[in-house]
Structure 1
């Protein structure tokens, strides 16, 4: 009888935005499933805290302070990995940001900063890691998108644009790289308890609006993103590519 393997033992994952929030949770979750992790973020202190948790699990954590909007920095990450005789099995493009400006208030600087952080960085990481994976003939890439890339929300037009583009980028890369045995998928979260949403989720009226369109009637816990990420990183998902898995409490099926 075939039993799917969700184990990541012996794998190496690279996670961007790994110091806090979703990136931290996914990095620890991958380590719990057996993977060593290369932790990328601008802030060393955040990475050191995440690494400490991973190492207590008996897994190796590589701390690399990195600006993922810089191709030079990304190439330094690849060089570090290859010079240490390591191979990348999993890439999670999680680095992201949002500036909650109404459309008529968005500045050129805001547009460019969000585009570079959310979309350009994910493409450049995928491109450089994709070269590495192509040589090995296998790999898993997971982009952290958002329900905002699938349905229209009240504000955040730039953020939503980057996430919609990320979902389409996922599909095109999956088409192009499938012949190299590289699976490219994305995860689309709704509201989760993170440092970026902490202030918003203290507003009772705002939370009530969220719950009104969420069938499960609650905000997500970060740990609930780990299962989908482990699944898409593991051999259990080998015949899945180009898909977006919405982890949203049912928000995107709401017909009202």
Structure 2
């Protein structure tokens, strides 16, 4: 009989590409089994992943704004992996841009559902799993836009500010249960989705001047940080927002 050496299963939402895929790879290499949730149900598409890495993640199709789909996906991952859920990374999100006077009600509600309500819904679903585990860690992926005033980004900024506030509230309410909640807030991160825009468009020139290091971060930067929070397992650290933006948000 083979004895599993996994440290348990961590659910990652929005795991098929970009930051979510990098987080999934980092967690697998740190010894965890990873439940990879996405709308497509695809396995993480990440450079450098080996067959050994892929054997430790279990993909499930899920609309993260639908609690019933989240419950089904969580149960499916537990059944297939054979591992208890010990953590959650709320990474799924979408972008929105537009002038304040033109924001449509349906657009605002949809982005709020995916970026903010899903954090609440997934955290509620994972709660009994973490209670059974006698504690665990939830990492929410926010944005440094939560503290900035950005033209034509009201909807996105509002959702990420909500994520930061939800992190603090969940942290203080669940601390007595040994459930910690942290918010990782990236700045500009280059992924396959925005690579051309950053490398060839005016955004790249702006970021080269605005970010102290002169370049945006990458998905692996965020993946390494999130993985380190699970590996460190610092019991007294909860409720905090950790910015990973190369100093962009504090530059004057």
Choose the corresponding residue for 2:72, options 69, 72, 76: 76
Q: Which residue of 2 aligns with 1:216?
A: 213
SS of aligned partner of 1:187: strand
What displacement does 1:68 show?
A: 0.8
Matches within 5 A, 1:116-195: 116-195=113-192
Contact 2:111 2:155 (8 Å CA) reproduced: yes
CA deviations over 1:94-141 (Å, ceiling 9, x no partner) = 000012212122111210110111011111001110122123211110
Q: What are the equivalent positions in structure 2 for 1:1-256 lying under 5 Å apart? A: 9-44=6-41, 46-47=42-43, 49=45, 53=49, 55-57=51-53, 59-83=55-79, 85-254=82-251, 256=252
Contact 1:54-1:61 at 8 Å conserved across structures:
no
Distance of aligned partners of 1:54 and 1:70 in 2 relative to their CA distance in 1, 3 Å threshold: farther
Structure 1 residues 186-236: Cα deviation after superposition (integer angstroms, max 9, x where no partner): 110011112332353145422222232211111112111122101211244
**Equivalent-residue separation in structure 1 for 2:6 and 2:210 (angstroms):** 38
TM, length-normalised to structure 1 = 0.89
Q: Is contact 1:54-1:60 (8 Å) kept?
A: no
Using the TM superposition, give the Cα deviation of residue 160 of structure 1 relative to its aligned residue in structure 2, in angstroms.
Answer: 0.5
After superposition, the Cα gap between the structure-2 partners of 1:83 and 1:25, relative to the gap in structure 1 and judged at 3 Å, is closer
Deviation of 1:77 (Å):
2.0
Q: Please, which runs of 5 or more residues in structure 2 have no aligned partner?
A: none
Q: Distance in 1 between matches of 2:198 and 2:84?
A: 39
TM-score of the pair, normalised by structure 2 = 0.90
Runs of at least 4 residues of structure 1 off by over 4 A? 81-85
Mapped partners of 1:38, 1:83: distance in 2: 11
How far apart, CA to CA, are the structure 2 residues paired with 1:196 and 1:11?
Answer: 31
Deviates more, 1:184-193 or 1:145-154: 145-154
Taking the aligned partners of 1:9 and 1:118, their CA distance within structure 2 comes to: 30
For structure 1, the 5+ residue unaligned runs are 1-7
What is the root-mean-square deviation of aligned Cα atoms in Å?
Answer: 2.2
CA contact (8 A) 1:231 1:237 kept: no
- C-alpha displacement at 1:253, in angstroms? 1.6
Paired with 1:151 and 1:217, the residues of 2 have a C-alpha distance of: 20
Q: Distance in 2 between matches of 1:106 and 1:135?
A: 43
Equivalenced residue count is 247
Q: Deviations over 1:16-48 (max 9, x none)?
A: 00001110111111111111110100113x326
